[in-house]
Structure formats: structure tokens, C-alpha cells
Structure 1
Amino acid sequence: MPARGRPGRPRIELIVDEEHPGGTMLVMDDVRQSYVDLDDPTYLDFEYVQYFASVLATLPPGPLAVTHIGGGGLTLPRYLQACRPGSPQLVFEPDAELTELVRSRLPLRRGHRIRIRPVDGRAGVAALAEAGADVLVLDAYADGRVPAGLTTLEFFTDAARVLRPGGLLLANLVDEPGLHYVGRVLAGLRASFAELALVSSQDVLKSRRFGNVVLAASSGPLDVAELRRQIARQPFPAGVRAGPELAVRYRTARPWTDADSSPSPEPRREGWRIR
């Protein structure tokens, strides 16, 4: 469909994938934001969503109560609906017009348990009851950057509050070579979560380019061995960093706070291969 937008809001396009029947790309201001396969919701085109799925595969089978911060094309909620039927899911997506467009052009399957609320993630999480979610997914961007208020020490304290014992927080971030921004995010997570893991492509891990990084955090044990097995099956080389390796590398990092916070680094649009 043609671009849709008006002054002051993102330019949105839904582009049909001619090489993959059923596939549609959601593009916002020329940045590939989501990929949806209506015929097969378990098909995940972006690498970082594959990393999400790999982490989720380490959890026991069955439905999960999942809260999503950021909706986009609802790729992960559709995937969970297909892979873990009966999962109650709550999505915080402040852009009501985007949600209306996605639901009309890329409708959800019948029988879903996905609720979408037009509020931002920080306010949405603050209004949730304690210990109500198994998984909290952070995948929210504004102008290609993760909002500053979603990676602070205070926010992660609240995120831990709404998770059940042993619950999982997943975050899709971006960073420049060196991962200094991600290091400060990890410092904030470490204050509320006992176990941390980082997943990314090998070229990002080796500081060769700007790119996506997925973080997993839990108050209970993470099955890192199984996660490594899952990531080894990815079509492109990727790696897992966890435990002492993360603690040593980022031991001097200071957490972002509400008084000292920053959005993720500005994307390098000419070289950022969002996956």
C-alpha cells in the first residue's frame, strides 16, 4: 500500500513481499519495523525476533502470560498465539492509528487472546498489578531509538515487580560498536535480576557494526546451555554472552536513571541492517 502519514507523525508503509507469499513488511520513515506472515505466524524474518523466539524456547511448554511494550505489526504476539495457544497477551502501543492500520490490513487470527492498549510502556507497566506476567517484552522505538525512560534503573525495578517469580524480561536494543549503551542497560538490569544473557550477531559482538542486541533477564536461572543450542541453529552466525563474562566486561558500567538517561544511539540508516 502507499505511504500513509501526516505532518508530525511517522510515514507508514505496508509492503507486500513478492518473494514470500503471505509476507508483509511494516516500514516507518524508511526503517523496516516489522515483518508479518499471515499464512505462517511462526515464520520470523528479523534476526532479533528469532533471538526472542530462541530465548522463549528455553521456557517450559504451555501458555505464557506476556506483556509487550511496543506493538508494531504484532509479530511476536502472533508467533506466541501460534506456538503457545491460549497465552493471554497484553500489548502497550501508544500509536492508536498504527494499531488500527495493522489490525485492518493484517488482521489477527480468530481465537486470539491479544489485548492492545493505546498507552506508552512506562505508564502501562506502572498500572499493572504485581506478579501478573510470565514474560515482559521490550521492543519499542521512537524515531529509530529506544526511549530513554524504558531502560532506567527505576523502570527495571517496576518491571521486576510485575513479573512472577522466575519471570523473564526480554529487550530488543540497538547500539554502536563497543556496546557502551547496552553496558549501562545491563547495569540497571543487574540491580533487579539475578541472571542476565545477551544475544546478538557475531559482527555486532565483535564491534564491527551498529546493530540489534537482545537482552534476557530473570530473577531465576536462565538455561544458557539450551539458549546456546537454540542460537547455534540460527541461519546467520550469532552468539550468547552470559554470567561472569558479562559481569567482568561491564563491571564498571553505571546504570541509566530517570535523572540521567538517554535514548539508544542514533541509527546509522545507511548501514543499519535491522533484522
Structure 2
Amino acid sequence: MGPHGNRRAPVHAAVDLGTAELSPDPARPQGWTLLVDGVPQPYVDLADPGHLEFPVMKDLGSVVRLVQPRRVLHLGGGALTLPRLIAHLHPAAEQRVIERDAGLLALVERCLPFPPLITVEVGDAADAELPGSDLIIMDVFEGAAMPARVSTTSFAERLRKALTPDGLLAVNLTDVPPLAHTRVQAATIRTAFENVALLAPAAVLRGRRAGNIILLAGNVPMIKLGKHERIIGGAELAEFIGGARPRLDEPA
């Protein structure tokens, strides 16, 4: 029996890519944090899908609330925090989640049940078929880094082809000063998309501390910024990228 309801003991399980733990939130009766190898992953409140704990999830949630998606593709699943939010906001939206870790998906499905309209499948985003979608959310990590196979110019082109003309791509990045990875990834996405922007805490974008950065491309909505947030695009983004070069595919 899963931990939903009144069971509040932590749950530990070996998954394909490490060891997972579901840790109960003592302040919220159906709140759980997923950790993999001790690293906190998305938080889920089964009673309130709109409750988002981590700052990057709050930022992504703010972006999601500005669009009206009909078909959503999630690359990377975790605890399905954002698919649950979208199902709550837009119950008719068709959602597909591609996650590499079969054991993690099985644990989440068993212990943190999710709406039936969310379709989950095991696969590597780099090799999977990317169906036409008007919202693509990419949250793919190996450890603390985005794998090279999903951060090249050819994969950026695949994302562009999968996205509808008025669609939105949102990519969760994590970086440390001087934000070399973010500069390269922004340059890479700009080879496929005309409109690209970065959203993050101002201190992160200024290179004062490590943190998450959301890369947006396509039909980027007007975003109301928080007191300490910043968004850059256009000429300001070009200046931020500087001499960083797009990441090309490795020779075959």
C-alpha cells in the first residue's frame, strides 16, 4: 500500500538510476518530497496539485498558468509534479511523460497516484519519438547536469519540429557561476528558435550564485516577475551568450 492517505513513514526503494526516497511533509498531510540518491526532486501534494514547494517549480508553474495547452509533452518525469498541475488546471489536456527510470515511474505510480489522462512511458528523450505538442517541458538530468545527448543543435531542431507554431518550450537548467552551461545551451536553442528567453532569480542570472534557470523558446508569454526575478531575451540575451558556441553532435 502506498503512502497516500494517512501513512506518514518515509518510503525507500531501489530504482534504475539510484535509490529513491519519498519523504513526508509534516506540515501537509498529503505532501511528499521525492529524493534520488539524497538529492531532492519535485515535491507533490496529492490533495493540492497547485501547491508547489521548490522555487524552480513555482516559476515553471507560473509559466504554465499563462498558457492553454491541449497537447503537452514532458521530457523527464520525476514525481509528475507539473503534469499533475496541468491536469488540475486543464483536465482535458493530453499529456505524455517520457522518463528513463522505469523503477522510479513504478514507485510514483504505486505510491503517488496520478490522473489517468497522464500517459507515462519509459524511454530516453534522446531516442524517443517527439509527438506534436503545444507545450514541451524538459526536465532531464543525470546527476546535476543535463545530458549532452539532449543538449545539441540537432536535438534543438527536433524540439522545434515537435512544437506547434504557437507553442512554448520550457527547459529547466541548473548552473553555477559563470553560467557557462547556460550560455552554451541558450546559443544551442537559438539555432532552432527565433524567440528565446531566460527566466531566473536575478542573483543567478548575474552570476552571483548557483541555481536553476528556465530557458523559454517559441511563443514566450508575458511573465509577471517577482521582486527578485529577472528575464532576459533579444539583444540582452545575445550579450549574455557572448562568445559561447552552440553544442554540436559528436561525430559518429
Match of 2:192 in 1: 192
Match of 1:12 in 2: 20
Q: For 1:9 and 1:137, how far apart are their aligned partners in 2?
A: 21
**What pairs with 1:1-275 in structure 2 (closer than 5 Å)?**
1-5=10-14, 9-59=17-67, 61=68, 63-109=69-115, 112-124=116-128, 127-129=129-131, 132-218=132-218, 220=219, 222-223=220-221, 226-227=222-223, 229=224, 231-232=225-226, 237-259=228-250
Query: Are 1:133 and 1:163, in contact at CA under 8 Å, matched by a contact in 2?
Result: yes
Q: For 1:120 and 1:99, how far apart are their aligned partners in 2?
A: 13
TM-score (norm 1): 0.83
* Percent identity of equivalent pairs: 34
One-letter amino acid of the structure 2 residue matched with residue 91 of structure 1:
V
Q: For 1:108 and 1:186, how far apart are their aligned partners in 2?
A: 33
Higher strand share: 2
Structure 2: gaps (5+ residues): 1-9
Query: Are 1:55 and 1:216, in contact at CA under 8 Å, matched by a contact in 2?
Result: no
Query: Are 2:17 and 2:101, in contact at CA under 8 Å, matched by a contact in 1?
Result: no
How far the C-alpha of 1:2 sits from its partner, in A, is: 4.0
One-letter amino acid of the structure 1 residue matched with residue 238 of structure 2:
A
Deviations 1:11-43 (A, max 9, x none): 110000001222100000110011000000011
Query: 1 or 2 for the larger relative contact order (CA 8 Å, sep ≥6)?
Result: 1
For 2:127, what is the secondary structure of its paired residue?
helix
TM-score (norm 2): 0.90
One-letter amino acid of the structure 1 residue matched with residue 75 of structure 2:
I
Q: For 1:5 and 1:57, how far apart are their aligned partners in 2?
A: 34
Query: Are 2:156 and 2:192, in contact at CA under 8 Å, matched by a contact in 1?
Result: yes
One-letter amino acid of the structure 1 residue matched with residue 127 of structure 2:
A
Query: Are 1:14 and 1:24, in contact at CA under 8 Å, matched by a contact in 2?
Result: yes
Q: For 1:252 and 1:128, how far apart are their aligned partners in 2?
A: 31
Number of residue equivalences? 242
For 2:142, what is the secondary structure of its paired residue?
coil
How far the C-alpha of 1:145 sits from its partner, in A, is: 1.9
Q: For 2:166 and 2:194, how far apart are their aligned partners in 1?
A: 10
For 1:198, what is the secondary structure of its paired residue?
strand
Structure 1: gaps (5+ residues): 261-275
How far the C-alpha of 1:122 sits from its partner, in A, is: 1.1
One-letter amino acid of the structure 1 residue matched with residue 104 of structure 2:
L
Segment drifting more, 183-192 vs 239-248: 239-248
